[in-house]
Every structure is written in C-alpha cells, then in structure tokens.
C-alpha cells in the first residue's frame, strides 16, 4: 500500500467495462479429469515439439510426451495418465481456425503421477542446470504470448538485468485468473519470484498490479511479510492496456523500450505471475506445467468461476462442468474480449496460454456493426498506447501501401484493440493492421527466398559458364593435338612423296584430263546428234532446242579438242618436234566420219524439208574444212616422221648402234681367237670344259632372269599404259632393255669364250655356237626395236630418266664385271690383260657418258618425269636378289674348291647385298610416297564389321558428292568431266551406303538374338506407368459417367500393358 515507487503513465488507453466480478465469487476449483486429452504439439512461440511416445503407449501424469526442438521451443507433458491413441491434426485455439498436430490421450481416470521429485535446495545448483531443469518442465509464458520461459531466464547471461517486473496487472476485462491465483496462492508466487531473482540477480523487483484487485494486493503483502525478498508491490491505476509488457514497464519505470528492441536491452525482464507459480511448482515439487487456472465466464457459461484445468482439456468438457447454457451461447471467445479470438468449435483444448474462456450471449457480445467510412475524428490516435497514428496505418493498410505502413512503425502496434474500441465508425482497425503485418512478413519472406534463389541461380550460371569454358579448353587442346599429329603425318608423307607428287601434279594429268574431257564432249555430241536425227525423222517438236544443244555441244567439243591439242602441242614441242601421228590419224578419221554424218543429216533434212538446211549446210562445210585440215596435218606429220625419229630418240639409238657395232667387232675378234685356238689344239681343254659348263649354267640363269625381268617390265608397262597416253613408248624402252640385257649376255659369253680360247678349251666350238645364237637374238631384238621405233617413235615421250638410270646400272654392272675379269687376268698373268684393261677403260667412259646424259635429262625433264614406278623398282630388286643368290652360290663353290678368288667373291657378294638393301629401301620409300596419292582414288576398302568406319566412309562419300555437285552448280556451263566424277562418286557413295546398311541390319539382327534390351524395357515400363496415371487422371476429370466406359477401357488396356512390362522387367531384374 505504501509504495515508494513513483508510478508513471503511458499514452492513451481505455476503460472498458471490467466484468471481473462474475468469476471471482467462487474459489479456484479443480476441473474434472476429462475422458480425452488433446495436447497440441505447439502451445508456444517457436518450433513445435517432437513426440517421444508412440501411439498405443501408456503415459503417466507428468510424463514427457513431446520434446522441444531447438532453442525456442518447450516440452510437453501428459496432464493425466492414459493411453496415446493418436497423433493427428486437431482443432486448436489459433486465429486461423486451422487444425494442427495434436497428441490425443485417452484418459484412464486413475490420474497416476509419474515419479517426480522437486529440488531440495535449488540455490546449490548451478544456474544453467537450474534453468535447464525449468526448461525440462516445459514452462512457457502464461500471460498470452507463450514465450518459452527458460529463454527469458537466460537473459542474465548477456544482458545486465537490474529490474525484474512481475506482471500482475491483468488489465483485460472478464479475466480473473491471475487475481484468484494471487488471492489463493501468494506464497507460491513469492517462491517463484525468489527462484527467478536467484537466477537473474536483479537490483530491483517490482510487482505491477492494478488497483481493481485489492484482495490480491492484500494477500501479496501478507505473503511478502514472511519473505526475505525486497519486493515493491506497485499499485497502478486501472487502465487498458496497462498489462502490456511495454506499457507496464513505462508505468513502473518510466522507461520506454525502443522500437524493435526487447526489455532486456534496457535492463528489464518481465514475467507473468502465472509463470512464477509454474516455476515454483516445477522446482519445489518437480511438477511440470500440466495445468493452469482458466477463468470460465460470460453470461452463457453457467457457473462463472476459475478452474484449475489440465492442459488439453476440451472447452466442451469445461462448459459441461460449469453447466453452460448452450442455447444462450452466441459467441465463444478464447482470451479476453479485447485481444482474444472467437472460436466456433468447442472441441478445442486448453493450452498453456489459455487464461480465459468467455461464453458470451448475443446481448453481451453483439455482432460487430458494419464499418462506416473513416471520419478522421482522430480518437484512435488519442487512445493508442504505442503512440502510433492508427488512422494513417489504416489508410496505408487498406491501400496496400505496406512500405509506408512500415515507415509509420506498424510493427510497434501491440494489437490491443483500443483504437477499434473507440472508433465511432466501427472500423475493424486491428484486423487491418494484422493483415498489413501478415502481408509485410510474407513479402519479407519472399524477398529472402528470392535473394536465396538469386544466389543459387547465379552460382549455377557461374558453374555452367565454368564448365563450358573448361569443355572448350579441352576441346581446343584435343584439336591442337590432332592437328599436330596430322601435321606430323603430313610432313612425313610430304618428305616421302615430295618429288613424285610434285611431278604428278604437273603436265601429264592435265593432258589426260583434257583428253577425257574431249572424249566425253564427243560422246555427248554424238548422242545429241542421234537424238536430233531421230527427232527430225519423226518430225517431233523441240527440234530447235535439240539443234541448239547440238550446236552448243559441238562448240564445246571443239573447244575441248582444241584445248587438248594445244596442251599436247605445248609441252610436246620442246621434247619432240613431231606431232602425234596416230592422234592426227584419228582426228582425220573423226573429222571424216563427222563430215559424213553431217552430210547424211543434210540429206535427211533436205528430204524432210526442214527449215535449217542452211545451217546444216554451213556445218557440213565447216566439217569439210576441218576434215581437210586434219588430213593435211596427218599427212604432213607422216611425211615428217623420218626426221623426228632420228632427232628425238637419237641419243638412245645412236648409242645402241654404237654398242652393237662394238659388240660386233668383239664378236668378230672372239671368232678369230676361237678359230686360232681350235687350230693349235690347246692343252687347257679340261678346264675350259668346266668353265664352259659353268658359263652355260650362267647363261641359262641369265635367260631366266631376262624372262622374269621382261614379265615384271610388261606388268609395269601395263600398269603404266592406263595412265600414260603414249603407251608404245614403253614397248620400245622394254625392247631397248632387252637388247641391253642381250648385249650383256653376249659380252659375258664372249669373255668366257675368250678365256676358253686362251686356255685352249675343247668346248670353244660349242661356245662359238652359243655366241652366234646370242648374236642372232640380239639382231632380232634390234630389228624389233627399229620396227617399234618406226611405228611409234614420234609418240615416244620425253627421255625416260628411269631408263637411263637402268642403262647406267647395267653399265656399272658391266664395268664391275669387266674389272673383276681384268683383275683375274692380271693375277693369272693372262696375255689378254692389256686388252681387257682397254675394254674396262672404254666401258668406264661409256658409263661416264651415260651418267652425264642422265644428269642432263634430269635437269631438263625433271618436272615432267613420272613418278618412280614401284613395279620397276621391284623388278630391280628381284634382279639384284637373283644376282646375290647366284653370287653366293658361286662363292660357296669357290670356297669348296679352295679357289684363290674366294675372298674377292665374298667382297662382291657384300657389295651386291648392299645394293639390294639400297634398292629395297628405295622401293619402300616409293611405295610410302605412292600410297597417300593412291588412297583417295582407290576403291573404298570394305570393312563390314567396323560400323564406325563404314559410317565415316559413307559420310565422306556424301560430302565429296555434295562438293562435286556444288561445283557443278556453281560453274554455269556443264562440265562433262565433273558430271563423270559425280557419277563415279555417286556410285561409290551408293556402294558404301549399301555396305553400311548391310552391316547395320546385321547388328540389329544380332541385338535381336541377344534378347530384349533391359534399359529399353525399363523406359517402356515407366512410360506405360505414366500412361496409366494419365488415363486415371482423365477418368477422374470426366466423372459424369456418359463416356467413362471408353476411358475405363483405355485405362484397363494401359494397366495391362504396364503390368506386362513390369512383369517382364521383374523377370529380367531378378
């Protein structure tokens, strides 16, 4: 009563009718044990608790049934003994009226306590443990907000708490729960305050209590007399809403809690009086928070009183207990009339924050009258305890200008309802504020989510970008590597193929191309002409067009022919002055035939009376002229042949002639020597016989060799004949080679014969015969050569370097042999040594000449010279190999017979082997060089199993074909060569494709044999399932029975399919 504390005041406030007297008449009585307890898992601010018992478990009174999750949460205990029957959504006292998860316990009526025990001396316990003990009891603020109490008790840890305020104001009308509690259990309240004070150690403890509760004030004072605590009981004037936390602080201390802060920030902690009792009971008796005092009031509530109610008791049970008049009941309100919520369901349980239940009649709580327009009276501003501008906030909320509402401190509104209470227009202002707050919170939440999504989106974009760059880099690296590898390959190929490729590219193929062009043009022309005559005979339409085509073709043909002739003349001129007689002959023949045809056409045209007889006549005249010129050219060429034959291959023939002459001289000499030997009957007959035998064997070998060489030569020439326009040239070179070989043989035979003669062998006569035979052969060959030259000499191409090289090689062989023979002769002190030395000298000179010639020829013809023919090389290699073999055989024999020449022979064999090696290397190189050039033209090698290769081939063919077609499309005049190429490519493409198709078909067949693909099956099954769900949805959408049968059928079909597929799938997976 004698409070030393100065009571301040807060702005605004109202004085609604108190209506507290009705429920204070009777003392607190215990509510009966309900048959069913419904415990919402969330009865507090924060996260809902997590059930720790299962459905069907028997729980005892005070047993923990749901555990707090996280910092801000509270335990929940069973409020009576019984069985957990369900954990399910149930109606709860919430403004939304939405159900939320509840634990439903079927009470057994025994009300059997779990084993529990209070703390004997809580002061001996460390504070954190004591707070944890209180937390375990599940105590949350019982004033209305339900903030977990242990959190508030921890405030002493990081805040300086100098004032503890116990809120006993209970300003809302009707509610008397705290009043009755103070009247009856003041000692418990003080005990609770002691515990809180022990934990927070405040300098000052105040109990704020409104002056409309004198009995409670007296009871508190009485209790305080027995307590050692220094508590100020501050009596404050009755005014709504002095029980609000911030308002009470303002009243008791004059301090205003800043906007957006909590009282602890200004050193103050507030606790509700009910909470203190709960803390006391928890610490003293170990009883968790399982019951609370609830005021049952309102005109329809029957016996209006305060009841100690177990948490989870349904309103229905309470109203039944107080014998509420249900017919009078108009509105059921949970909490006070100002801030409580109206519920339309009695199946709602009492929770930790339920302090009052008002069963109002329609007179007591009439429906809210309809809202009128705001008249800007400003009364709301005058009563607002938070000193806000309710009217402004109303406009902002209504106009959805939430930013402005926020700027007007909407969130400082405590939703006390004072403004609505005084509003003359009955505007539900608080609802507008609640709506605005909700919208702003939603927006903030969305903004937070959007920011989060943006972060994730940007992170993803970065990641994708990074991956792209990495991929690109990898690709580049790979491409570089591939390019390097290719370049290396190309370099290798180039070094090998440099010479032949370069040579091939020039001159020769051009000529060939031109020739084929000309040929194609001619064929086309002929066809067109035929068509024209046909058309003319039958008198069809479109003759003009045909004629135009024919003319065009003729022009083209002429142009092609001319180009070919020009090209032929130009490169041929320096090499051979004469024209190709054969070509000229054919030209002349062609011209003649053309002329004849044209004449025939003219006749036909004249007979059919065609209009263009004149043009045909002109054509005929032209052709006649052409024919004449062609024939003239042919004749001129023919007459001039003799001179060029002498001039062009002059070098070869003169040389050969000289050779032949020398040979003949030798033969003559040998014959003379032989005759002398026979006459003098030499004693060396035996040796000579053996030597002659050997020589015969050698001769035989040589003949075989010659045959082989000829065979390979002819092969080579065959392969060349396709590509070289002047085929007969090869023949002559072959003949020449034959002659040379023959000459070599003759020489050898002569040498042997000479030896024989020297040693006076009896076989000399036989040898003489052999020499004669050989000479005859040589003569024949020479004749043949002459003939060949006569017929085709002018057509002979530029001097063949390869031929020259062969000559040189043969010459070298000769020189070597001659040298060997000479040495032998010197060793055996033969009288023929001097002569032999001369021969060797001569041969060397010849070799020199040949080499010079080769150098010249190479210098002059190098670009035009064809690629080194591998077949030729191969033949060379074979020849050398034969030689090596023979030489080895000879050497072995010599070793056996202990000949003194064995050492030398060994050296010779070595030399030959070296040569062979060289040739083989050369051959390998030539082949390597030829291959890359040969590849593109060669037929695609069929690899039926390698699908990839086949596919590649097909695509390559396609691209080539496309390129060629494109080329054709680009060039206006249809190039016949291109057409031909395209035809060819098409054919190849078709071939490759056919191969690919065959291979694919094979693969598919193989796959089918292997069985059903599991993966495919899985996907099929999933798709089938999707189909079923779709069908189901469609069916559910239709509903109205008319055409469901169809849909049902579809559904059944889909289901059976899905079942089948999944059955197969299962079989496979199992």
Partner 1 sequence: MSAILIAILVLLGLGLVFGILLGYSSIRFKVEGNPLVDQVDSLLPQTQCGQCGHPGCRPYAEAIVNCDEAINKCPPGGQSTIEALADLLDVEALPLDGDHDEDPVKAVAYIREDECIGCTKCIQACPVDAILGAAKQMHTVITSECTGCDLCVEPCPVDCIDMLPIETTPNSWAWPQPKPGVELIATDRSPGIALEGKA
Cβ atoms 36, 314 nearer than 8 A: yes
Answer yes or no: are the C-beta atoms of 853 and 811 closer than 8 Å.
no
Strands 29-30, 82-91: pairing kind:
unpaired
The strand pair at 291-297 and 331-334 is best described as: unpaired
Please report whether residue 435 would count as binding partner 1 according to CB under 8 A. Answer: yes
Q: Does 468 bind partner 1 (CB under 8 A)?
A: no
Q: Does 425 bind partner 1 (CB under 8 A)?
A: yes
User: Least distance in Å: CB of 362 to partner 1?
Assistant: 10
Closest CB to partner 1 among residues 422, 709: 422
- Which residue number, 126 or 367, has a Cβ lying nearer to partner 1? 367
Q: Does 530 bind partner 1 (CB under 8 A)?
A: no
Question: Residue 1065 interacts with partner 1 (CB under 8 A)?
Answer: no
Nearest distance in Å: CB 385, partner 1: 21
CB of 397 to partner 1, least distance (A): 8
- 231-236: strand order across its sheet: 231-236, 204-210, 163-168, 268-272
Give, as one character, the DSSP assignment of residue 506. Answer: S
Any alpha helices (H) in 226-272, and if so which ranges? 245-253
Sorted by sequence, the CB contacts under 8 Å of residue 1065 that are 6+ apart come out as 1014, 1017, 1018, 1021
Task: Specify the residue for token string 């909490």.
Answer: 335
Give backbone dihedrals phi and psi of 652, rounded to 5 degrees, phi first.
Answer: -60, -55
d(CA 639, CA 826): 55
CA distance linking residue 107 with residue 80, whole number of Å: 7
Q: Which of 50, 108, 439, 991 binds partner 1 (CB under 8 A)?
A: 439
Among 71, 201, 407, 441, binds partner 1 (CB under 8 A): 441
Cβ proximity to partner 1: between 705 and 1032 the closer is: 1032
Query: Residue 92 Cβ, how far from partner 1 at the closest point, in Å?
Result: 7
427 part of the interface to partner 1, by CB under 8 A = yes
DSSP letter string, 566-596: HHHHHHHHHH-SS--HHHHHHHHHHHHHHHH
Q: Is 827 in the site for partner 1 (CB under 8 A)?
A: no
Q: Distance (Å, rounded) from C-alpha 872 to C-alpha 877?
A: 9
Question: Shortest distance, CB of residue 1017 to partner 1, whole angstroms?
Answer: 12
Q: Which of residues 442-461 bind partner 1 (CB under 8 A)?
A: 442-443, 446, 449-454, 456-457, 459-460
Residue 906 CA from chain centroid, whole number: 68
Residues linked to residue 51 through DSSP beta bridges, in sequence order: 66
CA 922 from centroid of its chain's CA atoms: 48
Among the listed residues 83, 100, 714, 984, the single contact to partner 1 using CB under 8 A: 100
Q: Which stretch binds partner 1 (CB under 8 A): 92-100, 545-553, 609-617, 763-771?
A: 92-100
Least separation in angstroms between CB 89 and partner 1: 10
201 lies in the binding site for partner 1 (CB under 8 A): no
Size, binding site for partner 1 by CB under 8 A: 47
Strand-pair partners of 77: 64
Q: How far is the CB of 450 from partner 1 (least distance, A)?
A: 4
Which of 32, 428, 507, 813: binder of partner 1 (CB under 8 A)? 428
**With CB under 8 A as the contact rule, which of the stretches 273-281, 436-444, 896-904, 1000-1008 interacts with partner 1?**
436-444
Residue 361 makes contact with partner 1 by CB under 8 A? no
Q: Could you tell me what percentage of the chain is helix, strand and coil, using 3-state DSSP and rounding each to the nearest 5?
A: 65, 10, 25
Helices (H), 724-800: 728-758, 764-792
> Which is nearer to partner 1, 91 or 168 (by Cβ)?
91
CA distances in angstroms from 17 to 21, 80, 156, listed in the order given: 11, 37, 39
Pick out residues in 371-390 that bind partner 1 (CB under 8 A): 371-373
345 in contact with partner 1 (CB under 8 A): no
How far CA 89 is from CA of 68, 102, 104, 245, in Å, comes to: 19, 6, 10, 33
Give the closest residue to 109 by CA, choosing from 80, 86, 85, 84.
Answer: 80
98 binds partner 1 (CB under 8 A): yes
CB of 1026 to partner 1, least distance (A): 4
- Is residue 666 near partner 1 by the rule CB under 8 A? no
Assign residue 795 a region: left if phi > 0, alpha if psi is -120 to 50, beta otherwise?
alpha
Which one-letter DSSP state was computed for residue 758? H
Report if residue 96 touches partner 1, rule: CB under 8 A.
yes
> Least distance from C-beta 457 to partner 1, angstroms?
5
Out of 1030, 1046, 1068, 1069, name the contact with partner 1 by CB under 8 A.
1030
The angle subtended at Cα 993 by Cα 991 and Cα 999, nearest 5°, is 105
Q: Does 52 bind partner 1 (CB under 8 A)?
A: no
CB 826 within 8 A of CB 844: no
1029 touches partner 1 (CB under 8 A): yes
495 binds partner 1 (CB under 8 A): no
Q: Which residues pair with 105 in a beta bridge?
A: 37, 84
Between CA 408 and CA 23 the distance in angstroms is: 40
| 311-319, 333-341, 427-435, 861-869 -> range binding partner 1 (CB under 8 A) | 427-435
Neighbours of 637 (CB within 10 A): 20
Interface segment toward partner 1; rule CB under 8 A; list 430-438, 637-645, 760-768, 959-967: 430-438
Alpha carbons 736 and 726: distance in angstroms, whole number: 17
Q: Shortest approach of partner 1 to residue 260 CB, angstroms?
A: 20
Q: What is the DSSP string of 528-548?
A: HHHHHHHHHHHT-S-HHHHHH
- Contact call for residue 363 and partner 1 (CB under 8 A): no
Stretch that binds partner 1, among 425-433, 490-498, 582-590, 958-966 (CB under 8 A): 425-433
Q: CA gyration radius for the chain?
A: 62
Binding residues for partner 1 restricted to 395-424, rule: CB under 8 A: 398, 400
Least spacing, CB of residue 1050 vs partner 1, in Å? 16
432 binds partner 1, rule: CB under 8 A = yes
- Provide the binding-site residues for partner 1, judged by CB under 8 A: 42, 92, 94-96, 98, 100, 367, 369-373, 398, 400, 425, 427-428, 431-432, 434-435, 437-439, 441-443, 446, 449-454, 456-457, 459-460, 1018-1019, 1022-1023, 1025-1026, 1029-1030
């Amino acid at each position: 009563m004698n409070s030393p504390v100065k009571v301040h005041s807060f702005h605004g406030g109202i004085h609604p009718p108190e209506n507290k007297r009705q429920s204070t008449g009777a003392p607190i009585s215990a509510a009966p044990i309900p048959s069913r307890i419904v415990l919402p898992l969330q009865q507090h601010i924060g996260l809902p608790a997590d059930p720790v018992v299962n459905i069907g478990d028997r729980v005892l009174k005070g047993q923990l049934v749901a555990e707090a999750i996280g910092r801000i949460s509270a335990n929940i205990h069973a409020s009576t003994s019984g069985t957990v029957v369900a954990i399910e959504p149930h109606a709860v006292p919430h403004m939304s009226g939405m159900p939320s998860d509840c634990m439903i316990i079927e009470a057994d009526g025994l009300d059997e306590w779990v084993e529990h025990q209070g703390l004997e001396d809580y002061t001996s316990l460390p504070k954190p443990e004591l707070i944890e003990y209180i937390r375990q009891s599940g105590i949350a603020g019982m004033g209305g907000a339900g903030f977990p109490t242990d959190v508030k008790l921890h405030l002493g840890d990081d805040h300086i708490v100098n004032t503890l305020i116990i809120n006993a104001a209970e300003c809302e009308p009707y509610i008397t729960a705290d009043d009755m509690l103070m009247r009856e259990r003041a000692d418990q309240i003080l005990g609770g305050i002691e515990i809180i004070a022990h934990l927070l150690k405040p300098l000052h403890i105040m109990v704020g209590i409104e002056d409309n509760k004198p009995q409670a004030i007296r009871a508190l004072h009485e209790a305080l007399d027995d307590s050692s605590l220094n508590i100020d009981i501050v009596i404050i004037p009755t005014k709504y809403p002095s029980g609000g936390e911030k308002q009470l602080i303002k009243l008791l201390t004059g301090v205003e809690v800043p906007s957006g802060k909590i009282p602890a920030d200004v050193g103050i902690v507030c606790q509700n009086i009910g909470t203190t009792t709960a803390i006391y009971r928890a610490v003293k008796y170990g009883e968790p928070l399982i019951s609370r005092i609830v005021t049952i009031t309102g005109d329809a509530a029957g016996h209006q009183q305060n009841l100690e109610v177990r948490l989870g008791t349904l309103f229905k049970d309470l109203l039944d207990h107080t014998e509420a008049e249900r017919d009078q009941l108009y509105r059921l309100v949970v909490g006070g009339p100002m801030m409580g919520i109206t519920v339309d369901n009695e199946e709602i349980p009492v929770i930790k924050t339920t302090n009052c239940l008002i069963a109002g009649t329609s007179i007591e709580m009439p429906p809210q009258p309809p809202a009128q327009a705001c008249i800007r009276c400003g009364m709301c501003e005058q009563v607002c305890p938070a000193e806000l501008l309710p009217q402004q906030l109303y406009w902002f909320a209504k106009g959805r200008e939430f930013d402005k509402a926020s700027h007007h401190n909407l969130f400082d509104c405590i939703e006390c309802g004072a403004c609505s209470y005084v509003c003359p227009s009955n505007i539900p202002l608080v609802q507008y504020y609640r709506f605005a707050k909700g919208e702003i919170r939603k927006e903030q939440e969305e903004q937070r989510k959007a920011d989060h999504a943006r972060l994730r989106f940007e992170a993803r974009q970065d990641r994708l970008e990074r991956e792209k760059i990495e991929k690109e880099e990898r690709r580049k690296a790979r491409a570089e590597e591939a390019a390097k590898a290719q370049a290396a390959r190309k370099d290798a190929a180039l070094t090998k193929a440099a010479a032949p490729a370069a040579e091939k590219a020039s001159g020769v193929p051009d000529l060939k191309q031109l020739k084929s062009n000309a040929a194609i043009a001619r064929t086309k022309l002929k066809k067109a002409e035929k068509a024209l005559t046909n058309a003319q005979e039958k008198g069809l339409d479109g003759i003009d067009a045909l004629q135009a085509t024919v003319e065009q073709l003729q022009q083209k043909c002429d142009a092609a022919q001319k180009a070919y002739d020009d090209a032929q003349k130009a490169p041929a001129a320096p090499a051979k002055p004469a024209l190709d007689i054969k070509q000229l002959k054919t030209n002349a023949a062609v011209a003649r035939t053309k002329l004849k045809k044209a004449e025939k056409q003219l006749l036909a045209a004249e007979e059919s009376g065609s209009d263009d007889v004149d043009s045909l006549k002109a054509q005929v005249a032209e052709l006649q002229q052409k024919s004449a010129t062609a024939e003239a050219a042919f004749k001129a060429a023919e007459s001039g042949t003799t001179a060029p034959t002498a001039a062009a291959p002059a070098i070869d023939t003169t040389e050969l002639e000289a050779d032949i002459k020398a040979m003949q001289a030798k033969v003559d000499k040998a014959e003379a020597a032989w005759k002398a030997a026979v006459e003098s009957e030499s004693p060396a007959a035996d040796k000579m016989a053996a030597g002659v035998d050997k020589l015969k064997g050698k001769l035989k070998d040589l003949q075989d060799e010659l045959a082989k060489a000829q065979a390979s030569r002819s092969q080579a020439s065959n392969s060349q004949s396709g590509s070289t326009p002047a085929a007969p040239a090869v023949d002559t070179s072959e003949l020449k080679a034959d002659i040379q070989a023959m000459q070599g043989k003759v020489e050898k035979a002569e040498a042997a014969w000479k030896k024989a003669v020297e040693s006076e062998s009896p076989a000399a006569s036989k040898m003489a015969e052999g020499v004669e035979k050989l000479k005859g052969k040589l003569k024949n060959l020479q004749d043949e050569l002459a003939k060949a030259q006569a017929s085709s000499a002018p057509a002979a191409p530029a001097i063949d370097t390869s031929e020259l090289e062969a000559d040189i090689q043969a010459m070298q062989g000769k020189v070597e042999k001659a040298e060997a023979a000479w040495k032998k002769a010197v060793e055996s002190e033969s009288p023929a040594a001097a002569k032999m030395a001369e021969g060797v000298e001569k041969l060397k000179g010849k070799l020199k000449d040949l080499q010079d010639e080769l150098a010249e020829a190479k210098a002059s013809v190098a670009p035009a010279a064809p690629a080194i023919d591998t077949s030729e090389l191969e033949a060379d290699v074979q020849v050398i190999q034969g030689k090596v073999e023979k030489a080895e055989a000879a050497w072995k024999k010599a070793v056996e017979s202990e000949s003194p020449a064995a050492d030398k022979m060994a050296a010779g064999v070595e030399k030959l082997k070296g040569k062979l090696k060289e040739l083989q290397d050369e051959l390998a190189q030539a082949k390597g060089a030829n291959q890359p050039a040969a590849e593109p033209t060669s037929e695609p090698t069929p690899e039926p199993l390698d699908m990839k290769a086949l596919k590649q081939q097909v695509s390559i063919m396609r691209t080539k074909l496309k390129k060629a077609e494109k080329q054709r499309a680009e060039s206006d005049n249809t190039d016949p060569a291109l057409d031909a190429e395209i035809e060819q490519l098409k054919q190849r493409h078709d071939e490759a494709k056919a191969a690919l198709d065959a291979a694919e078909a094979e693969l598919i067949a193989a796959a089918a044999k292997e069985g059903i693909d599991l993966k495919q099956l899985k996907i099929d099954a999933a798709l089938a399932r999707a189909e079923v769900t779709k069908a189901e949805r469609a069916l559910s959408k239709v509903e109205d029975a008319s055409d469901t049968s169809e849909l049902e059928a579809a559904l059944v079909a889909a289901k059976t399919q899905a079942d089948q597929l999944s059955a197969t799938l299962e079989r496979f997976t199992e």
